Structure 1
């Protein structure tokens, strides 16, 4: 077998030497100390957040009638989490995804409460576009808001959203740095430098650099760096200005995954293949020419002005641009993905295809909001009102591998031979997909106004309501290949849709005690055509058909929240029912598509976050979820099928992380459980490869030792029992990524 050995196989002794060299330097740092792991009863609790950082939430979390989970940086630090996907393991009900046709979707791709949420990621309240795997180095906390949230963020918030809170300058910032080395020759370093400039100004720079392989994988590598400078003026005064930006560069060898043959539940109509054994998890089915390059830049200006009497006026302006250039080889989808030409498995092959992505995302946004409190007729109001103006754009170029003639120019087929199933050659030269000239270039402009009010009727009862009105216009300009294979003409096209959307939420809350609440909430959101990719369609069966009305999602939730142990521990419980209406469905009676399909998701979530004692922290959650597709039909090969559920929506998920401090030693660990995830959800569907992802659980371990007031050493061991499990599966069932095998990371944390 010929193979390419990546940089991750080189000796890592120089990385360990780097950590060792940092220890004496940190020990001689200026007077500063690491934050103590023990917390007094009334001090800040490492895992527990009192309030959301979003100005749209007017009350503390315990008095907010909605499921809002805050993942603080202390939890991420203990876990050694580097990516957003790793961080979101701390909340139940979120699952990761792969893409269509055997190829990996670009960037962070996940579902929450049965709905895709990958385009509902926000940074400081502004939508974050772009096919990028986000890092947590510049985050103070991650806020996971569940349930339809159209009133909060506008279109497309069918199951909630993720709000990433950036680190900003303060007058009492502490300088910190980390250096970590891990298995698969991973090296990661971060820095957080803060400097006070005069009495009311401060500078802060966060930076990150990393490189190395991927545990359990040959050839695959991730490398990149990022920097986030920020400057603040007027700190401690009524008027504060913040100027901050973030710049990310990634240069990766992408992972096309491995075939699912031999896994429990695998099926193929060919008996020999059906009885085939598993492939090595390290096998790389890509080509030496595969690459992934990402550039992401974000510039933000924010001003806050205190008007007096508890009123604050805010304005935030942002420009963001992300480019993704990727060439990746993956296992093809379909029943013919595996080829057995003899009885000898050593001769079996697997079909591959190459995916080329060239995508640009841009956003320009401006938000102005007012927070104020006042009394009317003896009733207390905590009110937020604001306006938003936004321009969002995504452009995608189209590529092909087949031989065809376009506008009179003949393009030959690119060479894309099968790979040996059990001994793939990562040195294969494969043809690079060529640009056809086709493209889609879509954009959405939005003008929105919103208002939220919390009305306190007395010390025990309060009402919470919010409305949002937005006027949007989505336009798609494109060039498509039109003709009869293999001869095509590039034909320009243009589609647009504009509409008014009205979203709302209403909640009622009762406080049986000062430290607890019981609530009921009802909310909606709307998802118009082209909401996620800005690409409108004229296809009758597409939900992005410009002639269709927006889908509407409604959510009813009842729950209770409590602060216990002198407000060091948050407990919460919620039960909800979410319905998504006006889905496009096939009607066999008149052979047409219309919007009568519906999806219903019902569930219960429990959570506990905070401290059990001064030395014992915990973050735990469990979610039970049932999905049901109602009147949801599709047509394939002239056969109508009924969908009965929602893909990748496990009935039970659970997560736990806890740590305990013994003097200078802190021990911690956690576990995650995900029940079976269905891939095949159509009634009477033919047997096909991997109809589901089997259930699994994974355990992690952490040990940290505080050497002195400036230095902390931490060891993280992931997948402690080396459990083999499917992390993600493609929609065709032929390709998967396995979860990380047993691996480790040693990190030196310094403050000075």
Structure 2
């Protein structure tokens, strides 16, 4: 039984806030994922059975029907349609990625309110660092259901959709997941012949090409190849430039049969001259003793006011050369139409070779009109080996329908990290204050220091970079088992619950010794769903998560909390952070199932939060609370008018924030970092004719703090951004698309580092793309 979809309303499998317009084939019933590929686009509809499908009634396998809905490569851990899932889930479809020209994960996530981007720190100086409901989600990012911690800047050329699961998701995804998880679904082979290609040009030296070819190689086999090349600057941000290419082949056999096998490989490489940010206007003050006159006073904590294209980097020193290689083997078997098993094995390796300038405000140079060009660097190799088995299906117990999923996970994640040290005339730049305080002529003649208002990125840095030679390594071993179930007591009442047990063993090795610790993490979730009507649901849920010390395995901002070394010396032993989410919400399909409306209220409580004690130590004495609400609308208002929109309100407070000495308790009750109080995203399109479409987007982000310290706050101000799109299809196989992002050329900042700098977004960016489809 095949199904054609119209729009993005969840009459069949459901969806939630932020879901985008899509028009893809779906299959409901036996061999769902594989058999969907057998759709023939020229078949005519026979009957409309969306109501029967919604209620789980059987549809003859040979009948084709039309419904409105959306198919995703969803994890089997979701045991109910999204309409009946007691969680907030937003789906960014391939169509929305294309319409908004979202070429990176960062671009894509702006379509989901409540997500902010943290400026790189720790092990991820320039990679993706999304925050969900105020919680770092770098370690809660998944590719095709498997955790992908390696620090990187992700591309979308091989992405079918991005699913954003909000709220504690420990029972679904394991460790971390306090604010939710991000699940990236890759493009998969299909039983059809197709080629799609694009070529785009624009301002800021923008050039991009993609290729997506799918070939049927046998009755049940298909091969797909995705390619990407991208070379572009960053409008208004000096010499910043990004070059990357990607290759993603995949091969499937057994499509449409009970036994399927898929092989996937993904490679992406980038060679960038990164943006380096703008310092805040209230840095630490160190008084000069050389007679230099002070030229400014402490500001409010916003980025300093300098010309739009001010860039503090050094073209002669800065670069980011990162890569990712990922190989995946997936085996699937259908015991029956109601019982399935899937096993996925993956090995991946992420590499970083980064050296870039941070405009350091910690030495007080800004008050004298100078900036110290501090070197930030990273030399890293991170590999992951994982095997995950999912056994899922439907059974009846005591007369009630149970849609269940259970499985196991075995993962080893390991990273090796080193850095560069900057030298001038054989002397380490950081060995004294002559360079860091911009206090000598040599600091300026070597361009280690520069002007605050008029830096020159072409300055020839005459120092040297040497590998520091003090590497460290981290390792996380995970063994886990999970079970989730949705019980249908009656058509109007469902219950969802899940449990998961993770055994995690972390190890840290450095010149100071070897340290390790182990934790057993038990997480769970439960929810009730009441359906007053076929097209609507009201839910309440409770979910937990746990974040062990060293959760990012050296790839992010959290450090590993040390246990006992080989000599038995006890270091700093910390417990896992604990989080819980209480959420109530509702989801409705309206306008004959063309449009979905969603809403949710929630509270997240965090305990065992790591803080600095009054004596300068580290303890689990911290806590914070996040309260908020979300509303969303997605689908078609009319046949030609589509919309995806959402609004998020977040009030995140540090209840017990610690602090040493006179700072003890100062941050209690203050706003948590990287949490905007208000955020909004709207994307809408209208078909003026069958061939001509226009669209526009509006995005709002409230003030975001790096720190809400009452004495030295750091923040980026609120902003609005507006985008435009127009597309025209001609000669059956071709189309032209115009995208203009940040139409008003608004200066805004989209990332706030805790202490030193904020990242400025690109100015007005416009490009035209020629698309071909065969």
TM-score (normalised: structure 1) = 0.85
Report the Cα distance in structure 1 between the residues aligned to 2:72 and 2:319, rounded to whole angstroms: 42
Is the aligned partner of 1:153 residue 2:177?
no
Report what 2:629 is aligned to: 604
1:318 to 332, 342, 346: 346
1:529-548 aligned within 5 A: 529-534=549-554, 535-538=559-562, 547-548=573-574
Cα pair distance change 1:716/1:545, threshold 3 Å: farther
1:640-667 Cα deviation digits (max 9, x unpaired): 6334220121110000000000211101
Cα pair distance change 1:374/1:87, threshold 3 Å: same
1:582-633 Cα deviation digits (max 9, x unpaired): 1133454x77543221010000011111111111111100000101111221
Q: CA deviation at 1:434?
A: 2.7
1:665-684 aligned within 5 A: 665-682=692-709
1:118-133 aligned within 5 A: 118-133=138-153
Report what 1:382 is aligned to: 403
Q: CA deviation at 1:370?
A: 0.8
1:339-397 Cα deviation digits (max 9, x unpaired): 53xxxxxxx42111011210111100101111111111111110101011100112211
SS of the aligned residue for 2:75 comes to coil
Q: CA deviation at 1:58?
A: 1.4
Cα pair distance change 1:275/1:162, threshold 3 Å: closer
SS of the aligned residue for 2:228 comes to strand
Is the aligned partner of 1:169 residue 2:189?
yes
Report what 1:658 is aligned to: 684
SS of the aligned residue for 2:215 comes to strand
Report the Cα distance in structure 2 between the residues aligned to 1:457 and 1:538, rounded to whole angstroms: 48
Q: CA deviation at 1:67?
A: 0.6
Q: Does the 8 Å contact 1:50/1:60 carry over to 2?
A: no
Report the Cα distance in structure 1 between the residues aligned to 2:305 and 2:663, rounded to whole angstroms: 35
1:234 to 254, 260, 272: 254
Q: Does the 8 Å contact 2:149/2:552 carry over to 1?
A: no
1:309-348 Cα deviation digits (max 9, x unpaired): 41111000000001010110120132613153xxxxxxx4
SS of the aligned residue for 2:707 comes to coil
Q: Does the 8 Å contact 2:274/2:320 carry over to 1?
A: yes
Q: CA deviation at 1:501?
A: 1.1
SS of the aligned residue for 2:295 comes to helix
Q: CA deviation at 1:52?
A: 6.2
Is the aligned partner of 1:83 residue 2:83?
no
Q: CA deviation at 1:704?
A: 0.7
Is the aligned partner of 1:570 residue 2:596?
yes
Report the Cα distance in structure 1 between the residues aligned to 2:308 and 2:380, rounded to whole angstroms: 30
Cα pair distance change 1:592/1:423, threshold 3 Å: closer
Report what 2:585 is aligned to: 559
Q: CA deviation at 1:546?
A: 5.5
SS of the aligned residue for 1:723 comes to coil
1:141 to 161, 164, 171: 161
2:334 to 306, 313, 335: 306
Report what 2:90 is aligned to: 69
Report what 1:244 is aligned to: 264
* Range 453-462 or range 251-260, more displaced: 251-260
SS of the aligned residue for 1:728 comes to strand
Q: CA deviation at 1:106?
A: 2.5
1:354-365 aligned within 5 A: 354-365=375-386
Q: Please give the root-mean-square deviation of Cα atoms over the aligned residues, in Å.
A: 2.9
Q: CA deviation at 1:128?
A: 1.1
Is the aligned partner of 1:740 residue 2:740?
no
Q: Does the 8 Å contact 1:99/1:731 carry over to 2?
A: no
1:98-145 Cα deviation digits (max 9, x unpaired): 1459x9823101211011112211100101122211011101100000
Report the Cα distance in structure 1 between the residues aligned to 2:275 and 2:367, rounded to whole angstroms: 22
Is the aligned partner of 1:330 residue 2:330?
no
TM-score (normalised: structure 2) = 0.83
* Range 724-733 or range 313-322, more displaced: 724-733
Report the Cα distance in structure 1 between the residues aligned to 2:338 and 2:394, rounded to whole angstroms: 6
Q: Does the 8 Å contact 1:496/1:546 carry over to 2?
A: no
Q: Does the 8 Å contact 1:312/1:371 carry over to 2?
A: yes
SS of the aligned residue for 1:359 comes to strand
Report the Cα distance in structure 1 between the residues aligned to 2:451 and 2:618, rounded to whole angstroms: 42
* Range 320-329 or range 418-427, more displaced: 418-427
Q: Does the 8 Å contact 2:388/2:409 carry over to 1?
A: yes
1:278 to 305, 315, 320: 305
SS of the aligned residue for 1:236 comes to coil
Cα pair distance change 1:61/1:33, threshold 3 Å: closer
SS of the aligned residue for 2:675 comes to coil
1:631 to 635, 651, 656: 656
Q: CA deviation at 1:461?
A: 0.6
Q: Does the 8 Å contact 2:743/2:764 carry over to 1?
A: yes
Report the Cα distance in structure 2 between the residues aligned to 1:260 and 1:378, rounded to whole angstroms: 63
Q: CA deviation at 1:164?
A: 0.2
Report the Cα distance in structure 1 between the residues aligned to 2:200 and 2:470, rounded to whole angstroms: 44
Report what 1:647 is aligned to: 673
Report what 1:723 is aligned to: 746
Is the aligned partner of 1:713 residue 2:736?
yes
Is the aligned partner of 1:449 residue 2:481?
yes
Report the Cα distance in structure 1 between the residues aligned to 2:664 and 2:464, rounded to whole angstroms: 36
SS of the aligned residue for 2:110 comes to helix
Q: CA deviation at 1:538?
A: 4.2
Is the aligned partner of 1:436 residue 2:434?
no
1:110-121 aligned within 5 A: 110-121=130-141
Report the Cα distance in structure 2 between the residues aligned to 1:93 and 1:743, rounded to whole angstroms: 24
Is the aligned partner of 1:393 residue 2:402?
no
Q: CA deviation at 1:539?
A: 10
SS of the aligned residue for 2:99 comes to helix
Gaps of 5+ in 2: 1-39, 43-47, 51-64, 288-292, 429-433, 436-442, 565-569
Q: Does the 8 Å contact 2:742/2:765 carry over to 1?
A: yes
1:714-752 Cα deviation digits (max 9, x unpaired): 10111112222222233225x333222122010111101
Q: CA deviation at 1:198?
A: 1.5
Q: CA deviation at 1:475?
A: 0.8
Report the Cα distance in structure 2 between the residues aligned to 1:131 and 1:595, rounded to whole angstroms: 26
Report the Cα distance in structure 2 between the residues aligned to 1:126 and 1:275, rounded to whole angstroms: 46
Q: Does the 8 Å contact 2:535/2:590 carry over to 1?
A: yes
Report the Cα distance in structure 1 between the residues aligned to 2:663 and 2:84, rounded to whole angstroms: 53
